[in-house]
Amino acid sequence: MTDWPLAELLPHAGDMILIDKIIRFDEEQIYTCLTVKPDGLFSLPDGSLPAWVGVELMAQSVAAFAGCHARRKGNPVELGFLLGTRKFECNVEAFPAGRELTVHGIRSLEDDNGMGVFECHITAPGIQASARLNVFRPPQPSQYLQQTQESNDD
């Protein structure tokens, strides 16, 4: 586990932070966990969490992985982007309220240009979900965002 607050590792705030804590991380992987809150931002009327939110749980775990590595090196936490996901599979339609979920992300690839691929899994008793996430962390995020805005203005 880390001593860093999740709000300092993720580019989210308040109710948008869906994971509860980092269990552990190393050079290639991260384990996070959360308890499904019946009154959460994406909760269904019965308090469960739709399975498709699992992609966001995985993405936040990958973002926490990047944040932990930045903090460990004494660098600022930088913005990253989820470009897409492949092969999202889940054996349930929703994660039950009160269920503790473990999210495991393993870095498969990361290049010097900021592109990365992570194999991710969500597990709990009776629950199995998996996906491959494609992510991008620009080397200079503020410059990248400025160029993107200028392109949109043209």
Q: What average pLDDT does the segment 17-24 reach? A: 96
- What one-character DSSP code corresponds to residue 25? E
CA atoms within 13 A on the CB side of 90: 22
Q: pLDDT, tens digit, for every residue of 51-107?
A: 999 999 999 999 999 999 999 999 988 888 999 999 999 999 999 999 999 999 999
Dist CA 111 CA 132 (whole Å): 16
CATH superfamily assigned to domain 6-153: Hotdog Thioesterase (3.10.129.10)
Dist CA 16 CA 107 (whole Å): 24
pLDDT at res. 118: 97
Q: In the chain, what are the domain boundaries?
A: 6-153
- The H helix count followed by the E strand count for the chain is 2, 8
Q: pLDDT, tens digit, for every residue of 109-152?
A: 988 888 999 999 999 999 999 999 999 988 766 665 566 666 67
